[in-house]
Amino acid sequence: MTRTCEATGKNIAEATRNALRELGVSRDAADITVIDKGRRGFLGIFKGAPARVRVFQRVSSRQRAEEIVSTTLRLMRFSSQLHITEEKNTLIIDIETAGSDGLLIGKGGHTLSALEYVTNRILQRESKKSAKVILDVSGYKRRREDFLKSKALSLAKQVNSAKKQVTMEPLDAADRRIVHAVLKEDPTVETTSVGHGRVKSIVVAPATGGAKSGSRGGPRRGSRGGSKDGSRGGSRGGSGRSGSRGRPRRGSGEKKN
């Protein structure tokens, strides 16, 4: 990831010094490209041209992410400190504010989620190989995860008791992943996201037939597989498919129920 600056001077050396000063970096942290070597005037009749260079500052994903978040928070008038840890290709930035945690988090974490989304979009536009950024405020995400897991399990019990589906409040993608992951382990319920955009609701409903397909509860009610010993109603025996769902074909001599 790079930042760039163009500058001019009487010669290449002066133009380079001006560009480095503008970026606030040292010579060994930048790459320099000469755009125009410049030219001197002649006898004061012909005007010369200044030298022009382009300087590229090499910036790590960590430095750029910290710059984006710090600048955004400053523009939002938040006084804050950033604590950054790296895990593989992920940057976890924990934000500590001066008594404004709740305001930065927002209702349901939506303000924090929006800031995280914007930060990642900026980084991805500048470099496709940028690290993923996860923002947190004083450990809020950890507490939020514990809350969502507990609520999801409670809703599963409610659904099983009432035999009716329940719709959760709108959640962002990260929160929905937590709920889906927790309830995926419960064979008695199934989950579906509904809605449009980044914020959607999750519907928790009884699993078809009382259990998810492939669980210990056996196949779903009404599945094509049926039982092992009567999977397709017997052999075809020259009469085609012999009355799906176990009913005899019309004209077999028996009365229609």
- Given this model, what pLDDT does residue 223 score? 39
Q: Is the dihedral of CA 147, 89, 196, 119 positive or negative?
A: positive
CA atoms within a 13 Å half-sphere pointing along the CA-CB vector of 61: 23
- Looking at residue 61, its pLDDT comes to 86
pLDDT of residue 222: 40
Question: Which residue type is seen at 70?
Answer: S
Are 131 and 91 part of one and the same domain? Answer: yes
Specify the pLDDT at position 234. Answer: 40
Our count of domains for the chain comes to 3
Residue 256 in any domain: the answer is no
Residues of the chain predicted below pLDDT 70:
1-2, 41-47, 209-257
In a domain, 23, yes or no: yes
What is the number of H-type helices and E-type strands within the chain? 6, 9
- Looking at residue 46, the DSSP 8-state letter turns out to be B
**Residue 71 and residue 126 share a domain:** yes
In this structure, is the dihedral angle defined by the CA atoms of residues 205, 211, 214 and 216, taken in order, positive or negative?
positive
Cβ neighbours around 89 below 10 Å, total: 10
What confidence score (pLDDT) does residue 20 get?
A: 87
Residue 130 and residue 78 share a domain:
yes
Q: Quick one: 53 and 80 in the same domain?
A: no
- DSSP characters over 28-57: GGEEEEEEE--B--BTTTB--B-EEEEEEE
pLDDT at 253: 42
Residue 82 to residue 255: CA distance in whole angstroms: 79
Q: Tell me the pLDDT tens digit for each residue of 104-138.
A: 999 888 899 999 999 999 999 888 788 999 999 98
pLDDT of residue 49: 84
User: Is 187 in contact with 215 (CB distance < 8 Å)?
Assistant: yes
Host domain of residue 162? 142-210
Domain assignment present for residue 41? The answer is: yes
The pLDDT value given to residue 256? 41
Q: Are residues 53 and 75 in the same domain?
A: no
